[in-house]
Structure 1
Amino acid sequence: MTARDLTRRRLGRRLLAHPLGVNCGAVGLSQGTESETDYGRFLDGLRRAVGLGVNLLVAADSYGACRAESMPGRLLREYPNSGLLVSGEAGRIRGSAQHAYACRHIHHQFQQTQENPCVEELDLYVLDSGT
């Protein structure tokens, strides 16, 4: 990649995102068995990515039993005026809903994604088709 390839891209009317985002799901790959050291290393990696210009953080409640969703909130508090964008995701976990995209289910998932990282709004919301 060249430096030109790494210029921010427009997502919709207001959002400018670095072409590389960070999926915060890696913190939960071991299904809750990761240690505080692992969590700290992952957070250090996120800080490095932000330092290099990455500004899109992707989280979902299906990542690491909600633990991954705390990452964007923590970075937003550490870098309050950095232009970080938070993306949420729903559809991977059906739970007791009739299907993963049931209206009430999606609404609940959306609320959880806002509450877990402690953000008032999400910049982007994705419906995961991997179910």
Structure 2
Amino acid sequence: MMSANEIAVHLLASCPSLEHFEAYMFGSAVAGVGADIDILIVGPGGSLLSQVKGELRSAGEALPLHLLCMLPSEALHTQFVSREKCVPLSQLVLSNHEQTVAKIVSVQAWGNDEDSAARRGEDAICAETPNQRVR
């Protein structure tokens, strides 16, 4: 199963309409346990909501997504976000990015040529960014 970070990256990349909403993950998936993925969408109703639901349905075809939608006033009134410890998808993406950067920095500090990797007893790691290759 994908990690919470990977799920957030996947959903945000696959669902452009999420930019009109506040999107959160909550429940056991945030902690990396459980069999389902709970997503909260806070924002307007109407055609934008229908559009984002369709995008999420397509993006989550192979994922056990449970989708909860609320209007902003409902989310505020119920305090659902704080009560259920919802984590913004954008925060999960940043966390994933920070972990990747930390891993690259760690590899660079140790050296990442094949000799250095052999001394550490591991394979050389290669991370690629869109414009460059780090080895």
TM-score of the pair, normalised by structure 2: 0.26
Question: Radius of gyration: which is bigger?
Answer: 2
Q: Which has the higher helix share?
A: 2
